[in-house]
Amino acid sequence: MKHFYLLLFLITISACSLAQFGTQEITLLQRDTNKTFSAQWLEKDQSIKLELNGKAFSGTPVHVDESNLFGFKSKYGSLKSTGTIDGLLLTYYKVILKSEDNLGVRCDLTMSYKGGGSGICLDETSHVYDLLISKQLSVNGKIGN
């Protein structure tokens, strides 16, 4: 029973991880050009803001279970979970980032309860982006781990 409460506690921490920390910095790497882009996951409105090739994109991530992702990991690479307790406490999100001229970027994201995460995105021209979500978090204007 003690292990059940510990697991429940860790799941709760995982689900609330973004709400406690502020802004998480995101780096995207375009696979075919190795060009990098930056984005932010903003706690205040639970949205992701991305500047990609001169266009501003934004969207709200949706918490899903692993089976409801877009399926990019099977096509483009792995967001692999592990058989350890860490693997059980991963949280999954998918997001559609939209520009003002209705172009879109779709992303599958995996977050760790320890902070940080990774993902795979696909834009409207079928460019694939690897994505890293930093553990470096901004809290009230201060940077910390």
Task: Name, in order, each residue with C-beta under 8 angstroms of 125's C-beta and a sequence gap of 6 or more.
Answer: none
Calpha distance 93→95 (Å, rounded): 7
H-run or E-run covering 72:
helix 72-76
Are 61 and 109 in contact by the 8 Å Cβ rule? The answer is yes
pLDDT, tens digit, 9 for 90 and up, residues 90-133? 889 999 999 999 999 999 999 887 778 999 999 999 999 999 99
In the block, tokens 């991963």 appear at 90
Give the confidence band of 19 by pLDDT, cuts at 50, 70, 90: very low
* Domains of the chain in sequence order: 2-144 (2.40.128)
pTM of the entire predicted model: 0.71
Give the confidence band of 143 by pLDDT, cuts at 50, 70, 90: very low
pLDDT, tens digit, 9 for 90 and up, residues 28-68? 999 999 999 999 999 888 899 999 989 999 999 999 988 88
